[in-house]
Amino acid sequence: MGRRASSGDVLRAAALAVTISGLWCVVSGRTNLDAWRVPVDYRGDSWFTLATLKAARDGHVVPLATLEVPELNAPYGASWNDFLRQHKLQYWLAGRLARACGLFAASNLLLLLAAVLAGWSFYAVARYFRSRPEWAFAGACTFALSPFFFYRSLPHLTLSFDWPIPPAILVVTWCFGRSGLRLGSRRLWVAVAIVFVTGLHNIYYAGLLAQFLGLASLAPLVTRRAPGSALAPLILLGVLVASVVADNANVIAYGARHGPTLDKLLRPYGNLERYALKPIELLLPAGGSGRLFPFPSLAAAYYQGALYRGEMGSAYLGLGGIAALASLVLAAVRSHLLRSSGRVPAAFLAVAWILVGSVVGGLNGVLGALGFVWFRATNRHSIWILALILLWGAGRISRARWTRRRGVSLLASGLAAALALGDQLPPRTPTSEIESVQAVIASDATLSRKLEAELPPGAMLFQLPVADFPEGPRIGSAIDYEHLRPYLFTSRLRFSYGSDKGRAREAWQHRMEELPQETMVDALERCGFAGILLNRKAYADGGQGLRERLAASGRPEAWESPDREFLFVRLRPATNPAPPDEVVLKAAPPPAPTD
């Protein structure tokens, strides 16, 4: 049985929010207004996240509707309906936040909110399980500011919102309980709400919850429970599926109109091994975490010698998590092998199931070999393991006799939290790093303002080199999503990049790029493009050769971004532009068939 929240719990929840917020602000260097206007990351996947937030701010991300971004994939407009994009409701709400305080400040507020929500949800569930307040508080701080959270951060914002996991664990506990979930009970309605909300979050969290609900529905087959106890887990599983379907209604609707899109969701089987959960990485830190880890040379040896390098560093449990995991394993050994203290802890069985399904060559690998390769990065299930063991550990230690001495328990929980956080919190972001990002942002903003000042509203820019979206390969020194940078600062221009790859409509861009450069430029002008925006890092000569050839052909007007990473060359767009496919076909007709 659980317990109702007291006024003391409400005050402690407020203190928890203040503690988590203060620690996050200090660690991230967001302690003044200027720093708050700078995103915590400005590269790679962060550009994708920021572009999605901007699209939401501009009103293009709406729950249950297809996602179309008219400023991208000129001249047609970008379709974002062939790849799963979770959190559409959350992004819709976040877009209003971005309108109020700016794109970059909103991204920082979202990360802070993710951490606070994780702390609150953990604390509430731990208290329901009758953990002492001080240990629930310590566990909440450890979970909210985990290495997983700092690793995911802005680039993987939907994964950073891991707060539904503790309530999902509560639901699973109810489903496996002796009495199960009674139909029509208040507890079942609470479970329905939790499951529905979880389905609106990252698909990895929903996927693992679906596994546990499926197992709960099968439990009566191997236990003495009444067969009717399987009905509630099945209802919850249906709610979860409905929630996921609702969040991805745009993908389903778009696929129904334009053909199936499942092939876009699939990745090579090798990714399942590269990004699988490797148990050793639960125990070894990487990057900025593990500052108190006692064997740094062991961690360094592993990460230097590992053959398959996936999302290394995200699975580390921290010293607090490792201590809880060790205690859980010992309790399981004592319970089962020595048969001295009853049943094996349910948390141990849950962790074991996650490992069996998520490790290299585990059940997910078996499914992948059969062709089901949707869940490529099962290392992301490590955050479930952390939540499980910390909840179990907080409850276990709260039942120890010595914790009845309140002063001793408070001191011990404070020391435990300090050690855990001291180990897993990354080093403080230096001011120089924030200033470096500010300089890049200032350069992008300056270029964007100049483009909007010099070009008419609605002017189209063709971006070179042509890059796939999303998840395009590195081209030269240019990394994925760099073409989105000018889009973040403009409102009246249109860019050729940014529509989901794989559809025939967007194939013309690659064919256009393959034309001789003089022919390509003439064709772009006939399509109505007002300029070429070139990422110089993608070219060995920085694009200088193309610039010189365009100047020789009568198109000399060009300018660079202040950081010299982008080059713009003005074109002479046709008054009555023709469709790109038609223009490309005339510029490079297909070869005649041969006998």
- In percent, the amount of the chain with pLDDT more than 70 equals 95
For the chain, give the mean pLDDT.
91
Give per-residue pLDDT as tens, 568-595.
Answer: 999 999 999 999 988 888 877 655 555 4
In the listed set 208, 237, 265, which residue is the last one of a domain according to the structure? 265
Asked if residue 66 and residue 131 are part of one domain, the reply reads yes
In the listed set 219, 239, 265, which residue is the last one of a domain according to the structure? 265
- In percent, the amount of the chain with pLDDT more than 90 equals 72
Mean pLDDT, residues 335-357 taken together: 84
Separation in Å, CA 91 to CA 46, 85, 251, 514: 15, 10, 16, 37
The better pLDDT of the pair 218, 21 is held by 21
Say if 424 falls within a structural domain. no
Say if 410 falls within a structural domain. no
Alpha carbon distance 409, 402 (integer Å) = 7
In sign, the C-alpha dihedral spanning 275, 280, 285, 286 is negative
Asked if residue 141 and residue 103 are part of one domain, the reply reads yes
Asked if residue 197 and residue 141 are part of one domain, the reply reads no
Kindly indicate the confidence band of residue 509, based on its pLDDT and cuts at 50, 70 and 90: very high
Tokens of 348: 């141990």
Give per-residue pLDDT as tens, 125-169.
Answer: 999 999 999 999 999 999 999 999 999 999 999 999 999 999 999
In the listed set 218, 236, 265, which residue is the last one of a domain according to the structure? 265
Backbone dihedral region of 357: left (phi > 0), alpha (psi from -120 to 50 degrees) or beta? Answer: alpha
Contacts of 419 by beta carbon, 8 Å cutoff, 6+ apart: 292, 319, 320
Say if 421 falls within a structural domain. no
Asked if residue 257 and residue 112 are part of one domain, the reply reads no
Asked if residue 258 and residue 321 are part of one domain, the reply reads no
pLDDT at position 224 over 70: no
Q: How many domains does one find in the chain? A: 4
Least confident residue range of 28-32, 90-94, 375-379: 375-379
Asked if residue 505 and residue 384 are part of one domain, the reply reads no
Q: What is the reported pLDDT for 338? A: 67
Tokens of 58: 């501009």
Say if 416 falls within a structural domain. no
- Tell me, what DSSP letter sits at residue 474? P
Kindly indicate the confidence band of residue 376, based on its pLDDT and cuts at 50, 70 and 90: confident
pTM: 0.93
Q: Tell me if residue 535 falls in helix, strand or coil.
A: strand
Asked if residue 528 and residue 439 are part of one domain, the reply reads yes
Radius of gyration over every alpha carbon of the chain, rounded to an integer in angstroms = 27
Q: Exposed, middle or buried by CB within 10 Å (0-12, 13-18, 19+), for 457? A: exposed
Give per-residue pLDDT as tens, 166-215.
Answer: 999 999 999 998 777 888 889 999 999 999 999 999 999 999 999 999 99
Mean pLDDT, residues 206-232 taken together: 85
pLDDT at position 1 over 70: no
Q: Tell me if residue 533 falls in helix, strand or coil.
A: strand
Asked if residue 171 and residue 125 are part of one domain, the reply reads no
Say if 406 falls within a structural domain. no
Q: What is the reported pLDDT for 390? A: 98
8 A C-beta contact, residue 590 and residue 578? no
Tokens of 252: 């389903």
Asked if residue 551 and residue 534 are part of one domain, the reply reads yes
Say if 446 falls within a structural domain. yes
b/e string for 49-78 if b means 16 or more Cβ within 10 A?
bbbbbbbbbeebbbbeeebbbebbbbebeb
Say if 439 falls within a structural domain. yes
Asked if residue 231 and residue 294 are part of one domain, the reply reads no
Domain that holds residue 483: 432-587
Asked if residue 259 and residue 224 are part of one domain, the reply reads yes
Alpha carbon distance 207, 127 (integer Å) = 26
Kindly indicate the confidence band of residue 38, based on its pLDDT and cuts at 50, 70 and 90: very high
CA angle 580, 583, 586 (to 5 degrees): 150
Asked if residue 290 and residue 229 are part of one domain, the reply reads no
The letter for the amino acid at 284 is L
Say if 475 falls within a structural domain. yes
